[in-house]
Structure 1
Amino acid sequence: MLTIGSIVWGVQDVPRAVAFWTAALNYSPREEPGDDWAVLVPNDGNGVQIALAHVGSERARRHHLDLYATDQAAEVGRLMELGAMRVEWRYPPDADYVVLADPDGNRFCVIDKGE
């Protein structure tokens, strides 16, 4: 089963985006924000979290979904059977995600939330 874990928003200035989106949505940082990454959660507990990621280019892909999976391999396989494609990506050694694209080329990540 997949759930939307985060909407990832690409921004040029993470601290400025934190200030704006926390005020606009009544959200708070889940933990201390960094200069290149922050996760915001709803103060009332209702709604999806928003991750703010620094992007260094105006032309960078700016938004995508992080989908949480308890069985990442099975979900990646299922999504590929539905028409998703793997995206070539340089993964860090401790990556808990797989980057895919939907049939229109929109990228998204499948995050391993299994035990």
Structure 2
Amino acid sequence: MAISLYHLVVDAHDLPALARFWCQVLDWKVLFEDEEEIVIGADVTAYPGMCFVPVPESKTVKNRLHIDLNPDDQAAEVERIIGLGARRVDVGQGEEATWVVLADPEGNEFCVLRAKESLID
């Protein structure tokens, strides 16, 4: 099959601020920017990227799709990302969860996993 994941599109109120947040989290850079979209990625040839687009409405419910991040050191990355503007959130994960749920500055939930070496760890 000749298809691949190109980028994730994220609805946003403040495109520049949210794009900067995710650039800092992922150590990516802005690849394209105008009033209607900002695209970020590791490199112009590296897939996937993220595309931020403007929306008038606020986020009101838990995400149906979210990002999982795979850090070398979960605790250190959680603290670093919180320092960038994220906050801890409870989506019902329970205290026994091996992942930490955070929300970006606009409330989009994402998880910081314990270190993993494969997709089935």
> TM-score band, normalised by the shorter chain?
0.3 to 0.5
Structure number with higher strand proportion? 1
- TM-score by structure 1 length? 0.45
Give the TM-score normalised by structure 2. Answer: 0.43
Of structures 1 and 2, the one scoring higher in RCO (CA 8 A, sep 6+) is 1
